[in-house]
Amino acid sequence: MTKLRVLSAGAAQAVIETIAAEHRRETGVEVEGQFSAVGAIRQRVQDGAPADVIVLTAAMIDDLISTGHVAAGTRADLGKVGTGIAVRSGTPVPDVATADALRGQLAQAACVVCPDPATATAGRIVVQVLERLGLTATVGPRLQHFPNGYGAMRWLAESRGAREIGITQLTEILANPGVTCAGPLPGDLQVKTVYAAGLAARATEAAAARDFIARLTSFAARKVLANAGYEFDN
């Protein structure tokens, strides 16, 4: 049986797992995915980890093409993903519809969980949001970092404290049933990131990898992508 090795950002995990299951039923090709924060995945690729398909931000895919880690001409965009605010399911959903409302909720939060800004897109966005809201000094010490958004959401789902808030990519919130999305980052605090797939330059299953990338980024896959939290320009 052909096995594809996929190294992917956590923001694409739910989509890849769904489409991989469908792909296997139709083709017999097994897809083995490994998921983490974008910075960690990029480092693994640069360190020579075996892979056939790589899914990261479009900017990182372009960078890996320029360094010869992803085959030129193979970038295919999945769509763009926004950043959202989450709370544990069953707890009151806070008002985060405006920057002022979000400032108040974050100021009162016992802790704010998010991916590590050293390696994750959403983590860096959280740092920027706190700076813009003037909360770095007061809320910064209450940030709790995780290796990726999935880890942050799992912790939030299993927590039992009060006034705990999570911030990460919307796709990582929607994929976790133990948390509830309170809403996207409001107004111009919102940052939307384009994610893309590319063929690993050293892919051992290049033909199968190209086929999977085509399926993952096809128009037919848009319903799965949209349900997972992706947006499209057209």
Q: What is the pLDDT of residues 5-47, one digit of tens each?
A: 999 999 999 999 999 999 999 999 999 999 999 999 999 999 9
Label the pairing between strands 76-81 and 230-231. antiparallel
Question: What's this model's pTM, rounded to 2 decimal places?
Answer: 0.92
CATH code for 3-80+194-231? 3.40.190.10
Instruction: Report the candidate in 84, 38, 39, 64 with the shortest Cα–Cα distance to residue 195.
Output: 38
User: Sorting pLDDT into bands at 50, 70 and 90, what band is 1?
Assistant: confident
CATH fold of the domain at 83-189: D-Maltodextrin-Binding Protein; domain 2 (3.40.190)
- Residue 123: predicted pLDDT: 94
Query: What is the side-by-side order of every strand in the sheet holding 53-57?
Result: 30-36, 3-9, 53-57, 193-199, 76-81, 230-231
- Where do the domains of the chain lie? 3-80+194-231, 83-189
**Common-topology check for domains 3-80+194-231 and 83-189:** yes
User: Sorting pLDDT into bands at 50, 70 and 90, what band is 92?
Assistant: very high
Per-residue pLDDT tens over the stretch 111-140 = 999 999 999 999 999 999 999 999 999 999
CA distance 39 to 142: 23
